[in-house]
Amino acid sequence: MTRVFDANATTGNSPFGDLPVWDLTHLYPAPDAPEVKRDLDWLEGACKDFAADYEGKLETLDGAGMLEAVERNEKIDMIAGRIMSFAGLRYYQKTTDPERAKFFSDCQEKITDYTAPLVFWSLELNRLEDDHIAGLFAASEGLARYKPVFDKLRAMKPYQLSDELERYEHDNSPVTGSAWNKLFDETMAALVFTVNGDELGIEAATTLLTEKDRAVREAAAREIARVLGENVQLTARIHNTLTKMGEIQDRWRGFPTPQTYRHLSNQVEPEVVEALRNAVVAAYPRLSHRYYQLKAKWLDLDILQVWDRNAPLPMEADRKIHWDEARETVLDAYAGFDPRMADLAQPFFTDGWIDAGVTPGKAPGAFAHPTVTDVHPYVMLNYLGKPRDVMTLAHELGHGVHQRLAAGQGEFLSSTPLTLAETASVFGEMLTFRKLLAQAKDQAERKVLLAGKVEDMINTVIRQIAFYDFEVKLHDARKGGELTPDQINAIWMSVQGESLGPAFEFMEGYETFWSYIPHFVHSPFYVYAYAFGDGLVNALYAAYEEGDPDFQEKYFDMLKAGGSKHHKELLAPFGLDASDPAFWDKGLGMIGGFIDELEAMEG
């Protein structure tokens, strides 16, 4: 048996200190461990037994019988989730490793095959009448706890296919969307960018866009454009295929829009998302356009190029932040809000729950993966010592804390809709920012911190809504036939110009920058969740600053609820309502207030 990772291992020779590496033995000792085979064998038998015991019989179950069925299904979900978490985390750590890719694919195919007998479950449940389901809840308090699961499932009732087609969809899944996702991931991880003689992966190359030296930023931007341009035929093929697959799914299921599935899975009303989108687009001139005109003045430029968008300010200290400092900064900010929050975050650093270094073949970006509720989450970073990397750490740890607190709900109820999943992460960022702002030594440092926060908020709100509009336009255009790379490029540039404003000039090649953004491939229409989360947190933080003595308890209760409550129920204790269009203007007003302060500093 080959051990995968040593507990508390670190990546050596880092200029930022010893960066932690995942200890995935908390899931399984190794890919060839007997425990993996044991769980796969159990899963195969459990799925067969479940179908034999319940298929065609759900309408005969009383409340206690239905509760037992739900709990058995939940156990199956947990074991499958444990296997796929292990396989997936290993794969994302080195996507270019053929053994890891094979193990991931083999696990995915086996689990798809083993769980095929369970397809009847949602189909049969949705054939039960509402009164019948209500009667079961009334008869069993234990079952009634799972009502949100039934509600989410039954929201899909109008869009179900025939039993035979649903089984086909299930069996076909490893070689449809997920296969294209893997092709995208492996393509991105294998790209090599040569900047000033250094060969870099995409994460390190895009990080150069935040360097102080403008020539370095320009060289990185042009090299990124060159490499993405060389691969745009493939990325266009991936997007064309996935978008067409989505259109076929929507047509067969009867979804009124390509976004409908995402709204249903997020348990958010389309009109709420539309109100958010419209509020943000209307705010472009007074937020992003205004801020970037200020930035051009600070950089002493008549016009900004795309490589200036995330440039540090001239007065910003050019230093790399040691990992130990990043850890203490975030933990201190968390503890300042509530010591329990820092306690929940601490094991990520000490127990092998973070993989932080930039290594060959590692997936770009950052995420927090909840795994299953009887283990713990894992956080992936690509840490390069930038101030934004500290905020990314605060963000992903917020997810991790949320996932730990929600785990008490169990496997089916712990998962939070994407719109609410960003709450704790963005709140963690806000706590870290506010702590740093309070510690600012002088006006210049305060200006740098405020400008950095405004840029983060623009990237979280403005940029993500522009991404959302890009996806909407892309899916709409694809209905008219296959799109050439030039046509996709034109859609991208239309939303970039609108959102960034007149302060920018766009270099040749920037039109392909849509092609490396993973959300468009992995989670269509996910991106509005970032803007939703930022607006929600701005409103929450305002309530916190008003001095509600019970705020911390209400906040922890909200995180502990996981996916067991709708956003209206979760926000009601704070006196907030996301369905009120004015709600979004409050959040956007916080960004505007920061820009007001920055303008006032100009005298």
The DSSP code sequence of 389-432 is HHHHHHHHHHHHHHHHHHGGG-HHHHPPPHHHHTHHHHHHHHHH
CATH number at residue 89: 1.20.140.70
- With b for 16 or more beta-carbon neighbours within 10 A and e for fewer, the 525-546 pattern comes to bbbbbbbbbbbbbbbbbebbee
Residue 38 falls inside a structural domain: yes
Which tens digits make up the pLDDT trace of 487-497? 999 999 999 99
Q: Provide the residue range defining the domain that includes 118.
A: 31-175
User: Would you put residue 424 in left (φ > 0), alpha (ψ -120 to 50) or beta?
Assistant: alpha
- Are the beta carbons of 86 and 370 closer than 8 angstroms? no
Looking at residue 122, its amino acid is: S
With a cut of 60, say whether residue 595 has pLDDT above it.
yes
Residue 140 lies in a domain: yes
R_g of the chain, CA atoms, integer Å: 24
Structural domain contains residue 240: no
pLDDT class of 229 with cuts at 50, 70, 90: very high
Over pLDDT 90: what percentage of the chain? 73
pLDDT digits (tens, 9 = 90+) for 128-161: 999 999 999 999 999 999 999 999 889 888 888 7
* Structural domains of the chain, count: 1
Q: What is the pLDDT of residues 551-580, one digit of tens each?
A: 999 999 999 999 998 888 999 999 888 888
pLDDT above 70 as % of the chain: 98
Q: Is residue 160 part of a domain?
A: yes
Confidence of residue 2 (pLDDT cuts 50, 70, 90): very low
Torsion of CA 227, 185, 495, 206, to 10 degrees: -50
Q: Is residue 100 in a domain?
A: yes
- Classify residue 457: in a domain, yes or no: no
Exposure of 42 by Cβ count < 10 A (0-12 exposed, 13-18 middle, 19+ buried)? middle
At residue 603 the predicted structure's pLDDT band, cuts being 50, 70 and 90, is: low
Structure tokens that stand for 378 in this block: 């894992």
Q: How many residues are there in the chain?
A: 603
In a domain? residue 216: no
CA–CA distance, 422 with 261 (Å, rounded to integer): 19
Asked if the structure places residue 347 within a domain, the reply is no
CB 259 within 8 A of CB 472: yes
What would the 3-class secondary structure string for 128-139 be? CCHHHHHHHHHH
